[in-house]
Amino acid sequence: MRKLLTNIIDFFYPPFRRLMPLQTFRYAACGGANTLIGLTVYLLGLIYFNNKNVDFGFVVLKPHNAALFLSAIVSYLVGFIFNKFLVFTESNLRARIQLFRYGVSFLVNLCINYFILRLFVEILHIQEFVAQIMASVVVISFSYLTQKHFTFRSKG
């Protein structure tokens, strides 16, 4: 399955060869797919929560925040698998170290996304789904740098 997905992604690489290295292209392809999955889950969460606050007993979340955290769970799992097995395959760090680092990086990105979403939705009154798309652009840029230089870096 890994080889098949890598071959599919690499098939579309030649027109982009002059613009970026193969690893960056793979990251963009996998990140784009993960972003679409995350945005779909986010939108489904907004529809499911139907403009009602979500009470977890210990915390009450506004619908756009509950949808963000639902989307984050899915994106975390899918993103780690894509990055480990399709993008940063040359990393020689142990999987548990990568998973821990990915978790740290992911939590930082989630916090950035949360605060950007709060700013856009609650202060600037931008529609929730549009605000999430805009926040994703910022988070994706930061995420690539942390994945390449921290989570999946190669030793020495």
Structure confidence by residue, pLDDT tens digits, 73-98: 999 999 999 999 999 888 888 989 98
Residue 15 lies in a domain: no
Q: Structural domain tally of the chain?
A: 1
Please give the Cα distance from 42 to 37 (Å, whole number): 9
The Cα-based distances of 110 to 19, 114, 116, 155 in angstroms read: 29, 6, 10, 27
The string of pLDDT tens digits covering residues 42-81 is 999 999 998 899 998 999 999 999 999 999 999 999 999 9
The fraction of the chain above a pLDDT of 70, given in percent, is 98
CA angle 18, 27, 108 (to 5 degrees): 130
The string of pLDDT tens digits covering residues 87-142 is 988 888 898 998 999 899 889 989 999 999 999 999 999 999 999 999 988 888 88
Residue 54 lies in a domain: yes
Residue 113 lies in a domain: yes
Residue 63 lies in a domain: yes
Between the two ends of the chain, the Cα-to-Cα distance in Å is 30
Q: pTM of the prediction?
A: 0.81
Look up tokens 């910022």; give the residue: 138
Determine the structural domain holding residue 47 and report its residue range.
Answer: 2-10+24-151
Residue 136 lies in a domain: yes
Residue 69 lies in a domain: yes
Residue 16 lies in a domain: no
CA angle 110, 111, 114 (to 5 degrees): 85
Closest among 34, 38, 104 to 67, alpha carbons compared: 38
